[in-house]
Amino acid sequence: MSHLVKRYQEAERQLVQSDRYDGRDDFTVELQTFSRAANGPSSPREREDEDLIRFLKEFQPWTPECFHFNQKGMAYVSIALWNNLMEPVGNKTESFRLFTHRDIKCPTKTAPYIFTKKNSINYYKTGSQ
């Protein structure tokens, strides 16, 4: 299963990087990388991520069938996605760590919008979107 997830994520990355959705001011597609942190090993020889194992043991984000997120898992994924949206392209969180509602990133005066490739470039150059 992990191998299929990684193949899907790679296809998604290629689509976003293809520039197919660039060139418009009213629409963009950006890769949100937080979900990569949940990837398990693709083969028995691949080493498991110790931070991920610790997170899964402590947090237990899955329903009993281990396929869907439970309420805690959905809350965590929602915060992780929101925080990814508030991070510039090229500097998005890709690791799992426990956090709470107090760790939600908010827009700032210099970054009042959801980050896109276009405004991330400007942000890196000028310090504001």
Separation between Cα atoms, residue 60 and residue 54, nearest integer Å:
10
Distance CA 45, CA 50 (A): 15
Q: How far apart are CA 10 and CA 16, in angstroms?
A: 10
List residues bridging with 69 in a β-sheet.
Answer: 62
Q: How many domains is the chain partitioned into structurally?
A: 1
- pTM exceeding 0.85: no
Residue 75: phi, psi to the nearest 5? -65, -45
CA dihedral 106, 71, 29, 91 (to 10 degrees): 50
For 54-68, write each residue's pLDDT tens digit. 777 777 877 888 778
| Total Cβ atoms within 10 A of residue 49 | 17
Residue 31 domain boundaries = 2-126
Residue 42 tokens read as 């693709």
How far apart CA 118 and CA 88 sit, in angstroms, is: 10
Low-confidence ranges of the chain (pLDDT < 50): none
pLDDT of 98 reads 67
Residue with tokens 């276009």: 118
